[in-house]
A and B are shown apart, each in its own frame.
Chain A
Amino acid sequence: MMRSYEPASNAQLPPPTERIPVVRWLRQNLFSSWFNAILTLASAALIVTLVYGLGRWAIVEARWEVIPANLKLLVVGTYPIDQLWRVWATLYAIGLLSGFSGGLHGGLIRRIALVGAIAAIVLAILPFPLATRGWLLGAAASVGGGFGLGRLAQFATGGRSRRWIKRIEIAVWILSFPIGLVLLNGVGGPLPVIKARNQWGFLLNLLGAVVGIGLSLPLGVLLALGRRSKLPAIRLVCTAYIELIRGVPLISLLFMASIMLQLLLPDNIRPDLVIRAMITITIFSSAYMAENVRGGLQAIPKGQYEAAYAVGLNGALTTILIILPQALRAVIPAIVGQFIALFKDTTLFGFIAILELLNISRSVLSNLEWRGTIFELYVFIGVVFWILCYSMSAISRRIEKRLGVGER
């Protein structure tokens, strides 16, 4: 039997507002039965105790002076003080480059450069030694200078024929990678080789992450393509590599690199520990990266390949111009997730006699003066990692929004 409904006569009424008086909200949500009331009170007591305890510790008991007093050790470890300008120079170069790119393109990269400059200024306000604050302001200035240059380049070319500038820009960005490493490490002569590379504190976490991220993405893309190759030999090798590496914990790979490798190599060949650690984390991360990228590749409908062939592209061009851009865009969240994991995994270097941030904080603790400041140091380390990881994830979200990932 069919029933019909007339449109309601009061259809113009606004939706009911869900404004409930506080007391009623409380009664409905928190004290609806005696059991819920007990739960509410118990949880409230717990939260208050925890917050009070934490707040009291952070404000009254914690000896935060351990951080500024050991900042140099934590950030760059035993890097010689008279050579510290090389670390700053690397930072300035990065600031200059991001400023330039920001000025040239605007948009996201400008935002990132701006945030970096603001962060440097904020840090310069904190009570660090005067020299450090000066250097930090200089870093902010380098971003500003780069920005000016970028704008200038944009005006000079009048927005036209900017291709050659972009090419130079990309080339310099890529070159900055090895140049920065050489500058930090030294080559002899006026740039003496810095000894004890395994004791550089947080610098090692950063370098490990930069090298690992920079190398594992291209390697991962190649492996993913290899795994989908039609040539059985390539497919087999890539699949075996990915499955073998993914099936082993990173820490055991690191132990193998630090201990087993030495047993296999002749006595007089002793590859640097830090380089071994960086190679290991790259090998490890690229296997995961390959699977992320493969996920993206498999999401591309067959029609895309057919269309590309139809317009006359060959296999390589199809992959580079049509498939990869779409595939990578689809898996940005997974790739950035892998970057973040890799960055945090650099703390595992501490287990193979490398004094990265976590391990060097143990050394700080062993100074009689700073005994018992373990929580302060761990909170500091946690905050540093959180800020950097959150920044990465925020940047990735912006890129996703821009490219419309998940919307199209």
Chain B
Amino acid sequence: MKRVLVMAVLLALAIPLFVAGQTTLETVLARGELIVGVHGSLPGFGFLDATTGQFTGFDVDYGKAIAAALGVGVEFVPLTAGERFTALQTGQVDVLIRNTTWTLTRDSKDLGLDFCPTTFYDGQGFIVRKADNIKSIKDLDGATVCVTSGTTTEGNLADAFRLNGLTLNTQVFAETEAAFGAYDAGACDCYTSDKSQLASLRTTATVPGDHTILPDTISKEPLGPLVRHGDDEWFDIVKWVVFATFFAEEHGITQANVATFSSDNPEVRRFLGLEGGMGAKLGLSEYWAVQVIAAVGNYGEIYERHLGPDGLDIPRAGSLNDLYLQGGLIYCPAWR
């Protein structure tokens, strides 16, 4: 009995040795690899490219960007909507970049997560047939709407119709494919989802040109990377990697010219690691921002690669995702 007690005490003493708090940065550097939670099957944002067998997309590029800043490898874990937050909370992934909307609840200490700057401003919209001559949400009174259940989409739809005093008929589907298929086959007058998704779905319609996306946006869906609450050092790194892609676009620094970019602008010189010691402040190498741009390019390049005309074809000019210089919301704080 005595021996059992002694063993138990020894074990209890040993546990803190294992638990000894390691910050996320230390963990990642020790592992030599960043683990990123991504979508896995969302075109344009995170999916497995059938031709290369690699994960690719807008969100995936941000994962690569963070890894480049740290100078480590990167591994992607495809997560479902249900498991994504637990995966981050439990440390299964170091950062979650999975098309996740920034909401107060998710940001609060209830969920224990922190949102980094928004990389894509999405919003729920409607796709309709051009022939129906629907110009705005006001013309949708009494229309039948196809919608996917189980997301915020359904709630936003009901709110928007109530707000405008319109009658709503919905046809609810469990799968996106089925819901859009029903709309395409003529079972509904319109289909509603996030605009980025509408853009990708339109390409799969029988005749893509027959459909148009209404200008109305009925919800705010700011999407960006998430980290665990309470590891501020790590939070800062991810935040500034995102800002680095904004900064580079603001100053015309691209993947192609970053290696040879020269400037007398002190702010740009600090960005390039030539002065200021900005790397040390984040616990990174002085050239971390250069490594980021060399790996994935600036914000505009990332956008163009995945969401531009060759990708999902979501128009950027004049949208919230344009640079603040052009009236959008993409804005980098001071680099000093």
Contact = CB atoms under 8 A, between A and B. Distances in A.
A364 B204 contact: no
A70 B204 CA distance: 19
B43 A359 contact: no
B112 to A, nearest CB: 12
A105 interface: no
Contacts of B54: 78
Contacts of B48: 73, 78, 199, 355, 360, 363-364, 366-367
B200 A367 contact: no
Interface residues of B, number: 35
B177 A363 contact: no
Contacts of A77: 53
A195 B75 contact: yes
A363 B83 CA distance: 17
B309 interface: no
Interface in A231-285: 258-259, 262-263, 266-270, 273
Q: Which 8 A-B pairs have the closest CB atoms?
A: A262-B90, A363-B48, A366-B41, A366-B47, A266-B18, A371-B204, A266-B19, A362-B41
A351 B80 contact: yes
A368 B203 contact: yes
B80 to A, nearest CB: 7
Given A258-B92, A268-B27, A363 B78 contact: yes
B27 A267 contact: yes
Given A78-B53, A262-B91, A365-B41, A353 B79 contact: yes
B46 to A, nearest CB: 9
A270 B92 contact: yes
A367 B79 contact: no
Q: Which of A81, A196, A353, A370 has the most CB of B within 10 A?
A: A353
Q: Which residue of A195, A267, A367, A368 has the most chain B CB atoms within 10 A of its CB atom?
A: A267
B165 to A, nearest CB: 36
Interface string A189-211: 00000011011000000000000
B227 to A, nearest CB: 14
Given A69-B50, A268-B18, A363-B40, A374 B177 contact: yes
Contacts of B42: 366
Nearest to B48: A363
Interface residues of A, number: 39
7 contacts: A273-B77, A273-B92, A352-B83, A363-B78, A367-B47, A372-B181, A372-B204
A98 to B, nearest CB: 30
Interface string B57-88: 00000000000000000011111100100110
Contacts of A360: 48
B232 interface: no
Given A353-B83, A368-B43, A73 B50 contact: yes
B50 A364 contact: yes
A258 B93 CA distance: 12
Contact of A262 (B19, B53, B92, B204): B92
B260 interface: no
Q: Point out which of B20, B83, B90, B203 has the most chain A C-beta atoms below 10 A from its C-beta.
A: B90
B22 interface: yes
Contact of A367 (B50, B77, B86, B177): B50
Contact of B40 (A81, A270, A355): A355
Interface string A344-378: 00000001110100011011111111111010000
Given A267-B27, A363-B48, A73 B53 contact: yes
Interface string B200-236: 1001100000000000000000000000000000000
A198 B77 contact: yes
A262 B20 CA distance: 15
A47 to B, nearest CB: 24
B58 to A, nearest CB: 13
A401 B89 CA distance: 54
Contact of A368 (B76, B177, B204): B204
A195 B31 CA distance: 13
A72 interface: yes
B21 A267 contact: yes
A353 B27 contact: no
B159 interface: no
A369 B50 contact: yes
A359 B78 contact: yes
Interface string B105-125: 000000000000000000000
B139 interface: no
